[in-house]
Structure 1
Amino acid sequence: MLAPPPILVMAAFLKEIESFSSKNSLKQVPTYITTSDGKRFLETREADGEIKLVQQEGKSLGFCPDLRPDKEIGVALPRLFIASQDVAYDKSALSVLGVTHILNVAADLPNAFPSDYVYCSVPMYDDEDEVLMQHYSKCQDFIDEALSKEDGRLLVHCRAGRSRSVSIAVAYMMHKDKSLTVEEALGKIRETRPNADPNAGFFKQLKALEIELQGTA
């Protein structure tokens, strides 16, 4: 059987390329856009070329999530550290800090290395209506126990290491120094962890604690 003339082969090849490059032949890849307040949209293109954004169903996060690992470590007091889950789940980071005890105040985060560290789990939600002080006593006892040991070094963490863990650390700092204000304790933490930011409900409860402690000083 004779092979087709080269010119016919080239013509067929060019036609195949043209067909592949056709706008209708290309697979459309969905494009998603997340706004600064956490809303998610699907970008679609109409037949006439007009681009439309269709909001996706589901509750907005209320923020644009930052998925980058957060390995920044805050220092509340000597041997008392604050961090996110990224540090709590990084054994090498824990080793560098010399951590012996871990206080986990996240509501839905399992302890990463239960056979290697002394853990205390106090499930809390980062919700303005969460009653901070109903959890504090257990946290204080555990921190006291850890720091009473000569080599004790404690990490308190939640998910983001910004609100729950910071609030517990601030409360502990004020109990240890009753002249300390919330702003002063928070300022101290922010020297090493600038994004420390208790939610509004926690901040209000910490201010109430400040007044109570200074009234008994």
Structure 2
Amino acid sequence: MSFLEQLKARKLLLKSSVTNITHADGSQERILLSKPGETQKMTTKTYGFIVDTKPDFVPACILEDFLYLGPQDAVMRENVDKYQLTDILSVGIETSASNIDDENDPIVQTHFVECLDLPETNLATTANRTSQIIKCVHDKKGRILVHCNAGVSRSSAVCIAYLMSDHKMNFETAFALVKSKRECIRPNDGFLKQLKQMDRNNS
């Protein structure tokens, strides 16, 4: 058997492999290399955030009569009325004004800050903007609901950052407070690392 024939024979013994690709929008795609020179895109896609699969309508009150935290499901007119919300802060997920519109009541102010739920996202830049918005609502004696998709990672991270910057809490105290109000919170590992670094920078 010639050397070229040996190489061709060895190619047939190669095992298939899978490559994961993360796109700029946070979506992740798997590509299967089944045979040498042949690739096949697998249809399943995952995203850089937790996919919310069940209704979760009740926001958690983090600071009494002022700061509320929840998922996208909590952005509804019933909650605006019940908690007398003046502002909605959407972190990474824009919400439709149709969820909260009521022509007979004052208009609720909506805010949107871009943020991917990825460990490499610069949380300091996001938290600086969200903390300014939350502080302005506090100064005008309003009430704000902060939400992302599931109310687990992004929105909880910016609430913790706000407590650290404006209420001078350390990371452990701020995290424990938010966790005690909404047990399911879990900022991604990159956000946790950055929050701890913010704490060290403030001390």
TM-score relative to the length of structure 2:
0.69
Q: Is the 8 A contact 1:103 1:121 kept in 2?
A: yes
Mind listing any 5+ residue stretches in structure 2 that lack a counterpart?
1-41
User: In 2, Cα distance between the equivalents of 1:213 and 1:204?
Assistant: 14
Percentage of pairs with the same residue? 29
Per-residue CA deviations over 1:192-211 (Å, capped at 9, x if unaligned) read 21001100000000000011
CA pair 160-65 structure 1, distance change in 2 beyond 3 A = closer
- 2:86 alignment counterpart: 100
The within-5 A match list for 1:127-166 is 127-150=118-141, 152-166=142-156
Corresponding letter in the other structure for 1:103: L
- 2:59 alignment counterpart: 73
Q: 3-state SS of the aligned residue for 2:44?
A: coil
Corresponding letter in the other structure for 2:198: L
- 1:175 alignment counterpart: 165
- 2:4 alignment counterpart: none
TM-score relative to the length of structure 1:
0.65
- 2:77 alignment counterpart: 91
User: In 1, Cα distance between the equivalents of 2:154 and 2:71?
Assistant: 10
Q: Is the 8 A contact 1:71 1:84 kept in 2?
A: yes
1:123 deviates by: 1.2
- 1:198 alignment counterpart: 187
Q: 3-state SS of the aligned residue for 2:69?
A: strand
Q: 3-state SS of the aligned residue for 2:200?
A: helix
Q: Is the 8 A contact 2:50 2:149 kept in 1?
A: no
**Partner residue of 2:176 out of 184, 187, 195:** 187
Mind listing any 5+ residue stretches in structure 1 that lack a counterpart?
1-55
CA pair 208-91 structure 1, distance change in 2 beyond 3 A = same
Corresponding letter in the other structure for 2:70: A
Q: Is the 8 A contact 2:51 2:149 kept in 1?
A: no
Corresponding letter in the other structure for 2:73: D
Task: Please identify, of 111-120 and 97-106, the stretch whose mean Cα deviation from structure 2 is larger.
Answer: 111-120
Q: Is the 8 A contact 1:109 1:159 kept in 2?
A: no
Task: Please identify, of 108-117 and 141-150, the stretch whose mean Cα deviation from structure 2 is larger.
Answer: 108-117
Aligned alpha-carbon RMSD (Å): 2.4
